[in-house]
Amino acid sequence: MLADYSALVVTASNRASAGVYEDKGGPILVEGLTALGFAVDGPVVVPDGDPVEAALREGVTAGYDVIVTTGGTGISPTDRTPDVTRRVLDHEIPGIPEAIRAYGRDKVPTAALSRGLAGVAAGTLIVNLPGSTGGVRDGLAVLGRILVHAVDQLRGGDHPRPS
């Protein structure tokens, strides 16, 4: 249906990238974005920090419509995904991460601790999701309602008019 819509999934995890444990959030994201009709690449599993920035820049250069990250959004000293994402973005879209945090907060109060960002870099929408599988599912629940419209807008589409 939306085969010309492309997405890249990036997992930010020091331990998963080192093989300490298996990436669980990335495959859930791939499955969820595929179900939304996106052609999905990844998950690309990298350590948090500068490797995330490099993966984002590569994805923007490759022209993906959407890049969704999982992991590295918390408040621990190693959680740097939002910081490196901010360096890539042309502008932020604060409503997306606000909606994702609000969606998860009633079930899991610590969802409020996510520092995830969303924004646009050279026509690519980038969204940071938490690393937990629940945080990924909550993010997909929110993104499922807005992602196609957001991509259409970034491609220059008009707002739908009431009939």
pTM over 0.75: yes
Task: Provide the pLDDT for residue 1.
Answer: 43
Task: Provide the pLDDT for residue 2.
Answer: 45
pLDDT tens digits, residue range 53-68? 999 999 999 999 999 9
Task: Provide the pLDDT for residue 157.
Answer: 85
Tokens at 158, concatenated: 């008009």
pLDDT tens digits, residue range 71-95? 999 999 999 999 999 999 999 999 9
CA–CA separation, 100 and 40 (whole Å): 21
Mean pLDDT of the chain: 94
| Angle at CA of residue 43, ends 38 and 47, nearest 5° | 145
| Angle at CA of residue 81, ends 76 and 87, nearest 5° | 130
CA–CA separation, 106 and 91 (whole Å): 29
Beta partners for 125? 66, 120
